[in-house]
Structure 1
Amino acid sequence: MDMPESQNMPNMSNNVTRNMNMMSFYWGKDAIVLFAGWPDQSAGMYFLAILFVFILAMTTEVLANQPLIKPRTSPLVGGMVQASVHLVRVGFTYLLMLAVMSFNGGIFIAAVLGHAFGFFIAKSRTLAVTDTEKDKDSSVTNHV
């Protein structure tokens, strides 16, 4: 027995029903990101959601591409630190995935730009550390 569409989902808003029926990107502040009622069709809260997704993506990339263990660290301590960072990074990654599944174009762009900016920060810091180490090695070699 087929029921009319309005009786299948009586408690859902039009936005959620639209997103369930049509899985394609849409633009605008009427998104549901991670939690029901957030950002609640407010431009300020939508901007906050975009900023949150950007920072979350940036943090994920920094955690994924930054060496956190110093040389001569105990293997047990090093493993625990790496496992803890991995736990946080995977949790952030799943939150990002769920946010992008809101199919809001602004949220998607914020996630992609956050990943790119985080990668840039992590790699530029790594290059700066590498250059500093090369300068130290060359100064020691020149004085010997």
Structure 2
Amino acid sequence: MNHDHGMAAPPLSMNGTSGMHYGKKMMMMMHMTFFWGNDAEILFSGWPGRRLGGGMYALALTFIFFLAFLVEWISHSRLIKPGGAHNVWAGVVQSLLHAVRVGLAYLVMLAVMSFNGGVFLMAIAGHMLGFLLFGSRVFKRNMDILSSEKTSDLPPMSC
């Protein structure tokens, strides 16, 4: 007895490096090794795509750099004034900052999982520059380095 109700599966064919064709639909294959080039999907389906040549790819790399830089800024910033009388409010703001930092860090991680070499390098560069400006000793006074006082609102990230 035939249970497919007269429906046949669409023909399957492989297309080299691009993906699989199911009839007229195209399914993208995910890279499992690092690759170079601007033909990548980063974070969203079809983004940056092939629009504007490499311009959208450059915009995507800039976006990833900015996300990684922002993670470092949030990790090493002091946005909550010490000694405030509203511990509950400070705790809520601290929790929100933590959630934003973790969310941005996950976005960077997901972008790196595109296995595009340029994305990987821009994520590292964003974290490096952010740490250089906000977390390293380069721009701190000697008093700040020697003091045992807390230097940011959030605890260090743990992976």
1:86 aligns with 98
Is the partner of 2:130 in helix, strand or coil? helix
Structure 1 ranges of 4+ moved more than 3 A: 128-131
Distance in 2 of aligned mates of 1:4 and 1:104: 30
Distance in 2 of aligned mates of 1:53 and 1:28: 16
Which of 102, 106, 120 aligns to 2:118? It is 106
Number of matched pairs? 127
In the TM superposition, what is the alpha-carbon distance from 1:69 to its structure 2 partner? 2.2
1:30 aligns with 39
1:6 aligns with 13
Distance in 1 of aligned mates of 2:113 and 2:129: 21
For the structure 1 residues 57 and 27, does the alpha-carbon distance in structure 2 shift closer, same or farther, using more than 3 Å as the test? Answer: same
1:122 aligns with 134
Is the partner of 1:12 in helix, strand or coil? strand
TM-score after normalising by structure 1 = 0.75
Which one has the bigger strand percentage?
A: 2
Is the partner of 2:65 in helix, strand or coil? helix
In the TM superposition, what is the alpha-carbon distance from 1:44 to its structure 2 partner? 0.2
TM-score after normalising by structure 2 = 0.69
Distance in 1 of aligned mates of 2:125 and 2:76: 16
Is the partner of 2:101 in helix, strand or coil? helix
Distance in 1 of aligned mates of 2:142 and 2:75: 17
Give structure 1 stretches of 5+ with no counterpart.
135-144
Distance in 2 of aligned mates of 1:95 and 1:36: 14
Which one has the bigger helix percentage?
A: 1
Give structure 2 stretches of 5+ with no counterpart.
1-9, 15-19, 148-159
2:109 aligns with 97
Distance in 2 of aligned mates of 1:47 and 1:23: 22
Could you give the per-residue CA deviations for residues 22-46 of structure 1, whole angstroms, max 9, x where no partner exists? 5000000000011111111230000
Distance in 2 of aligned mates of 1:129 and 1:75: 30
1:52 aligns with 63
Is the partner of 1:127 in helix, strand or coil? coil
Counterpart code for 2:13: S
Percent identity, aligned pairs only, is 46
What is the CA RMSD across the aligned residues, in angstroms? Answer: 2.7
